[in-house]
Structure formats: structure tokens, C-alpha cells
Amino acid sequence: MTVVTPIGSARSAQPDLGRCTIVTAEEGVPLVFGGRVEYANLDYAASAPCLTPVAEALSAALPHYASVHRGAGHHSQVSTDAYERARRSVSRFLGARTEPADAVVFVRGTTDALNLLARAVPQGCTVVVFESEHHASLLPWEHPASRAGSVVRLPLPESPRAAIDAARAALAAAPRGPRLLCVTAASNVTGEIWPVEELVAVAHAEGARVVVDAAQYAPHLPFSLRDTGADYVALSAHKLYAPFGSGVLAGRADWLQEAAPYLAGGGATRLVTEHDVVWNDLPARHEAGSPNVLGAVALAAACDTLTPRVQELLHIRETALVERLRAGLAEIGGVHELSLWGEDHPRVGIVSFVVDGIPADLLAAALSAEYGIGVRDGLFCAHPLTRHLLPRGHGQAVRASLGIGTTWEHVDRLVGAVADLVERGPRWEYADADGRLVPVPDPR
């Protein structure tokens, strides 16, 4: 059966969340068979669409845009005020500590944030990280520019308790001195939520610090440095409904203050002479160059919109949508969901799966071209984890990820489309074009 729904007939799953809406194209997307449908965006984990209040905040800031901190003009002062207010909004959103004050450094995203921290840890710091991490969390510590010493990669844990025990053992066995545990708050492959508070507790008991990759967690649930006890947190604005090239590293200031600037250049300097450079203090120390003012304003607007109450309501709604999606896929023969800790473990709105007999790239291409559904296919920049979870005979998976704009109809359309494709296969021809499968011909 074909389950594509015409534009305007979708039933929303969204409770009353006021202005917590997204910017989207009203005209829908074209299909290879002709006609258009409302776009079923199920790729939020890759990059989320823009929140309406974020777009409004940018529109308000643009007329006054100017370079910050070093300009005497009125627009420069207005932009500087907006930039620093954005920092305070992000600080509140992340539950930053005030005594002593956590640093909030604007960066390009989670990858940038963790590379910054890798260059700021004390020289020779032991870093413990699970192989289940996204590459942004897994790889920076072994980069030639990293100040880390030994990097301990822990195998995929069989349970949350196994993760806690493995982290404790690895940190206890590490040489005395600076040690850092890097862990995700929610998997970008399975959506499963990690036991952050318990991991922080065992790390602190061993005298180690913890950095949390909250890129996939923060768009769905509140995260607090103060409440979790985590020492650092990194996230990306483009996953938090503010896709304008910003991100943040927030946490304890001492390591960041003692490290050399992440980049050398204007803004990071206090004084430059013929023979010497005096570097700035935080946060300017690690924000060399002209900052992404509009990206910071966008991130702050998202943080101000996604209050704990709003996120609570969104999570309730999202949980129902995820349960519907998982239950629907489970009824289709040959569909296998990827999971590290079992179907009952708490998760955010991410479901990865494979379909016997249909390669992941072909499935994703057909879902887009024939049904107007956007999903992700591949190994999701978490190759060790995804490869471990894939059933025999599968080289990649498909990931459906939900967010503010997801409706019941989007979920039902995906389930129906997968059932369609399992029953009779794609109805169009597809061929490789620069590493991606595309419809041939493509009349769209």
C-alpha cells in the first residue's frame, strides 16, 4: 500500500507549546511519480530545522550587526551586548555553576568544542573514552595537537552498570595525575541515554574529571552541569534548532585558562609587542578572530525557548511518537532495530534499523524519492558502535530521528513506506552519483 499523505492532511502530535514551532517550507517536496507531499523530516539527529523564535531573533539582530568587543560604534556596542547576553542564556540553559564560575566558550560545534578541550587538558592527561562514542568524542584525544597522554578506549559495555564499572576500573588503573572521562549523554545511533550522573560520581571518586557530549541529549531533555556534577559539556547549535554555525564548550575554567589559546589571532590577545604576546583571559582566550555573533544569538534564542517545562512536554510527546515508530517497525518482517542495551532502555527520539534484502542507501533513497521522507543512512560518524550493532550481512543502517516538527502522520508514513518497500521493493530505478544513490531519471 502507498501511504503518502497530501499536504495539509497530516495530524499533528504536538501539544500546546506556544511559539515552539519550526521554520519549514509550506510547498512540501516533489515525488518522482509527480505531485508534492508534506516533507516528513526524520533526520533531526543530523541537523535540526530552525525554531521560529530563532529566526525572529536573527531578524531582529541583523539590522544592528557589527563586529563585537572592539568597536566604538553604536551597532558594535549593540552586537557586543547581544553576544554577551547570548553567553549568559547558554550558561543558564546548561545549569552552569557560579562559584567558581564555569567558562562558556563559543565554538563551531561539538567537534570543535572537544578538539578545544583536547588541546586544553593538562599535558599528559589520561583520557578514558568508550568506543561507542561519536567520532567527535572519540578522535580528538589522539590528534597530534592534543595534549592528552594515554588514551584508554573501553569496549562497548553490555549494560549501564557495566559502563560504570568499566569506567571506574580504567580510571583507577590510570597513572595518578590529570584524568578525564569522555562520555555521551545520549547515543546518536540508538538514542539510548547514558548514566551520566553515575559515571560522574565514580570519576570524581577516582579524582578524575568528566566531559559530556550533550549534542543529542540537549535538544530533547534538560542538561545541567550543576545537577549532574559534570565538569564540562559540549553541544552543537545546529542540533538544537539553531543551524547557524555555532556551538559551545562550557565547564571548569582552570584547564581552559591555563592552556594556550586554541587559535592565535585577534581577540585572543591582550598585548602584542615585537618580542612577546600577552594572551587574554577566558572566554576571549579561546575565541580568536571575529566571533560568529549571529550564531551565538541563534543558539541563545533556542536555549531561551527550550525551557525545562517545554522540554518536559516535548519529551512526553516524543516518547509516544518513538514508541509508535518502534512498535510499527517491529511488526514488519525483516526489520531489525539497533540497540546496545535492549528495547526497554530509556532513549531520546532516535531509531536506527536495517531491512533484510534492501541496502540502507537504497532504502533511504527510495523513502525520499517515492514517499517524501528524509532519513539518514550510513554509519553515523560512530563506526565502531554501528558496526558492532549491525546484524550479519548488513554494512550500514538507516536512522530515523524525531523532533519538534514530527507528526503522527510522519511516523505512520515511514512505517507504511518501509512495509511497502519490504513487500514489493522500490518502484523506481536508482544509480550511484558521487557516492549517493539517486533516482534515474529524476523528474523532480
Catalytic residue ranges: 381
CA atoms within 13 A on the CB side of 251: 25
Please give the full DSSP string across 352-377, using - where no structure is assigned.
Answer: EEEETTB-HHHHHHHHHHHH-EE-EE
Do the strands 179-184 and 209-213 form a parallel or antiparallel pair, or are they unpaired? parallel
Give the residue among 251, 209, 219 at the shortest CA–CA distance from 234.
Answer: 251
Can the peptide bond before residue 157 be classed as cis, meaning omega within 30 degrees of 0? no
Q: Which residue(s) pair with 336 in the sheet? A: 354
249 SS3 class: strand
377 neighbors 360 (Cβ within 8 angstroms): yes
CA 44, CA 226: separation in Å to the nearest integer?
27
420 neighbors 3 (Cβ within 8 angstroms): yes
Instruction: Produce one character per residue of 165-180: b if its CB has 16 or more CB atoms within 10 Å, e if not.
Output: ebbbebbeebeeebbb
CA 50, CA 34: separation in Å to the nearest integer?
28
CA 38, CA 21: separation in Å to the nearest integer?
16
163 neighbors 199 (Cβ within 8 angstroms): yes
**Residue matched to cell numbers 598585548:** 271
Give the residue among 241, 259, 239, 208 at the shortest CA–CA distance from 105.
Answer: 259
430 SS3 class: strand
- Write out the three cell numbers for 112: 570543535
212 SS3 class: strand
- Write out the three cell numbers for 422: 519490504
CA angle 414, 415, 417 (to 5 degrees): 60
CA 182, CA 71: separation in Å to the nearest integer?
39
- Determine the number of helices (DSSP H) and then strands (DSSP E) in the chain: 13, 19
239 neighbors 216 (Cβ within 8 angstroms): yes
Give the residue among 234, 192, 186, 404 at the shortest CA–CA distance from 302.
Answer: 404
CA 36, CA 17: separation in Å to the nearest integer?
28
